Amino acid sequence: MRIPLALRQFVLLLGALASFAGPALAQQQMAARNPRPDLQDRIKDMVTIGGIRPNQLVGYGLVVGLNGTGDGSVPVTNQTLQSLVARFGINVDAAGINPKNSAAVMVTAELPAFGKPGQRMDVTVSAFGKATSLRGGSLLMTQLVGADNETYAMAQGNLAVGGLGITGADGSKVSVNIPTVGRIPGGATIERMVPNSFDTAPALMLNLMQPDFTNANRIAQAINRQMGNGTAQAIDSMTVKVNAPKDADKRVAFMSQIEEIKVGQSLPPARVIVNSRTGTIVISEGVRVSPAAVSHGSLTVRVKENLNVSQPNAGVNVVENNNTAIGRDAEAEGRPGTPPGGQTVVTRDSQIAVDQQPARTFLFAPDVPLSSIVDAVNAVGASPSDLVAILEALRQAGALHAELVII
């Protein structure tokens, strides 16, 4: 007797679930007897110091020395060149400039938190005109300003471009990566320091990268054990207040000790992250599924339209189907192709096909980890889109004990 495909898949899935669920339940029972120690992370990898952050800088500049890949006749580039040469005592009409070897660009950089005047930092240069490539160009002196419109750095130097763009005479193009963006390592010099409150604030605030009440409490307890009771206090799930020494040199040494303290992080919340566009699914630890049964299948409908053309003819029947003529050529034999009063008739021929795949039935045992269920579903050949649909259905049914995040 021949077993239906759906039943065979169901039997295979039950076998896979049994093979996955057995070891998973055994591991859970072993973990209950011998708890696994939490992963130890340094405090410096878990927090940032409040008020100690980089600052974004931006500037408008001009790249010269391009091999005919610049902006050409772009008004903003023409005006920039006119203003530039005017500073050197040269008067030129902007309308007569064709800067095919120049390009107007935007320059961006990130000023470090403790950056001092004279230090250098990297800059990124991006074309915003008609330039097709910045390869081989040099950035002229450009002011980099902050959000307060004050100048904090000056940038200049030769660009390093990782992309490549080639254009043929017939208009064909070949592009590798992005040739209109380049970098200048150490291309900017810091001119002004941004003040911060590290050495003046009475207390330092440690902000967790991932808010969590348990982790905040553990960080405060670990600091108090290492540095003395009353040193740290958890304010909320994001912030831990630390009473630091007043002297700057002692404060630096104090923070260097705190950064190296290791803390056992708590398990993150149970989440299932689904990228609906790529089918990527990320499952965090602790996700569980209640007993449930899911039947999932796919339905495909295909519609094909054909046009049938009937051409009347005296003595000869000519029928055209999809632009293919069958019969003899009446006009070649001296007879008229269409008799008086005859009309060409076009009729539509629609073909509809429905293909429904056998539904897959999934039986979820109680307290089986979702990772094991995913392995079992993959074992019977379910696609990522099928798994996404199953997860959404489980969440609606209340059987998925986790937060489902779709991005």
- The two three-digit tokens of residue 132, written as one number: 């097709």
CB-based contact 67:101 (threshold 8 Å): yes
Cα–chain center distance at 254 = 38
Cα gap 189→197, rounded to integer Å = 23
The predicted-structure confidence for 99-123, as pLDDT tens digits, reads as follows: 888 999 999 999 998 999 999 999 9
CB-based contact 134:125 (threshold 8 Å): yes
Cα gap 55→196, rounded to integer Å = 11
H or E, element range at 21 = helix 5-33
What integer pLDDT is reported at residue 325 of this predicted model? 44
Low-confidence ranges of the chain (pLDDT < 50): 1-36, 299-301, 314-333, 354
Query: In sequence order, what are the residues at sequence separation of 6 or more whose Cβ sits closer than 8 angstroms to the Cβ of residue 382?
Result: 296, 360, 390
Cα dihedral 89/94/97/100 (nearest 10): 110
Phi, psi of 222 (to 5 degrees): -65, -40
Pairing of strands 120-127, 181-190: antiparallel
Q: CA 259 → CA 215, 226, 248, 286, 324, distances in Å?
A: 15, 11, 16, 29, 80
Domain coordinates in residue numbering, the chain = 5-31+270-298+358-406, 44-51+197-262, 55-190, 304-354
- The two three-digit tokens of residue 289, written as one number: 């599924």
Q: Which CATH class is domain 44-51+197-262?
A: alpha beta
What integer pLDDT is reported at residue 310 of this predicted model? 72
- The two three-digit tokens of residue 361, written as one number: 């039935």
Beta-bridge partner residues of 348:
307
Phi, psi of 140 (to 5 degrees): -80, 165
- The two three-digit tokens of residue 64, written as one number: 């010269």
H or E, element range at 217 = helix 213-227
Cα gap 5→11, rounded to integer Å = 10
**Closest alpha carbon to 346 in 306, 304, 309:** 309
Angle at 314 between CA 308 and CA 315, to 5 degrees: 95
Mapped onto helix, strand or coil, the DSSP state of residue 18 is helix
Cα gap 344→313, rounded to integer Å = 10
Mapped onto helix, strand or coil, the DSSP state of residue 220 is helix
- Single-letter residue type at 356: Q
Cα gap 301→125, rounded to integer Å = 50
What integer pLDDT is reported at residue 392 of this predicted model? 78
DSSP state of 229: T
Sequence-ordered strand ranges (E) for 245-401: 262-264, 271-275, 280-283, 288-289, 292-296, 299-311, 318-321, 325-326, 345-356, 360-364, 368-369, 400-401
Q: CA 20 → CA 11, 364, 375, distances in Å?
A: 14, 11, 8
H or E, element range at 31 = helix 5-33
- The two three-digit tokens of residue 336, written as one number: 């008229």
Cα gap 326→303, rounded to integer Å = 26
